[in-house]
Amino acid sequence: MNAKRYLRLLGVQLKASGLLALQYRADFLAEGLTSLAWTFTALAPLFVVFNARPSIEGWTFQESLLVVGWFTLLQGVLEGAISPSLTGMVEHIRKGTLDFVLLKPADAQFLVSTQRFLPWRAVNVLSGVGLFVYAFVSLGRWPSLPGVFASLVLLGTSMLILYSMWILVVSAAFFVVKVDNLTYLFTSIFDAARWPSSVFRGSLAWVFTFIIPLALMTTFPALALLGRLPWTWLVGAVVGSVAFAAMARWVWLMSIRHYTSASS
């Protein structure tokens, strides 16, 4: 794969999405304000829970804000960069237009993953960073440099897992075509990532750690910023995310081999 060529192609796709969004500036501002409102709405359950107790499962209100911050940041990545493109791929399969993508001289997974971005979702990313700053100001201290480095590594692994999970979901469209319910189900499950993983017990704790690794996406980075994450967990997160991405790539290639055009 020519990395320089694909980076240039990604730049073209980002520029096209930005120009398309700015074409309707009122919508751009309205969507940005809506994203900001939803961010503050997501904090409501946290205020309700911590109004009755000082901490839950070892997490104070300020520490839990870090988990919500990571959830808000990843929600921006999911809804701004991952979901729009991959949801569009399902439409390509339904309409039989995926053939035009497969015939282009570039990797099909890259093309369908970068065909559309929603720039106003950057508000969620900035809101997440704002929650980190507020939480640490309230705690009266700042994260260490190793903690920041570990959290940045975990940001990469979280995005890789989130993207791989969506590849697995949309790959089902090659076999059942209609996967709307699966995407809605995944979005609903992802909402659980706004809570520290220690609040879940029994089978839910196991599922959210190993099957749908929500704990790795939001709780692990928060623990890294607080300086509580063991390095063995960090190494495990990197190895696990790479293995997850490799599995998603294998499923994608297998699904492509079984694809038959809807127009044929």
* Tens digit of each residue's pLDDT (9 = 90 or more) over 60-111: 888 999 999 999 899 888 888 888 887 777 777 777 777 877 888 888 888 8
In the predicted model, what is the mean pLDDT of residues 216-231?
A: 90
- Look at the chain and report how many structural domains it folds into: 1
Quote the pLDDT of residue 33.
Answer: 77
261 inside domain: no
85 inside domain: yes
User: Which 3-state string (H, E, C) describes 125-168?
Assistant: HHHHHHHHHHHHHHHCCCCCHHHHHHHHHHHHHHHHHHHHHHHH
Quote the pLDDT of residue 149.
Answer: 93
pLDDT-based confidence at residue 157 (cuts at 50, 70, 90): very high
Pull the structure tokens for residue 5. Answer: 């060529």
Instruction: State percent of the chain over pLDDT 90.
Output: 20
263 inside domain: no
pTM of the model: 0.85
From CA 218, how far away is CA 194, in angstroms rounded?
Answer: 7
262 inside domain: no
From CA 231, how far away is CA 224, in angstroms rounded?
Answer: 9
199 contacts 57 by C-beta, under 8 angstroms: yes
122 inside domain: yes
pLDDT > 70? residue 261:
no
264 inside domain: no
Mean pLDDT of the chain: 83
46 inside domain: yes
36 inside domain: yes
From CA 191, how far away is CA 201, in angstroms rounded?
Answer: 17
**Boundaries of domain holding 143:** 1-256
Angle at 214 between CA 88 and CA 40, to 5 degrees: 75
38 contacts 68 by C-beta, under 8 angstroms: no
* Tens digit of each residue's pLDDT (9 = 90 or more) over 192-223: 888 888 888 777 777 777 777 888 888 999 99
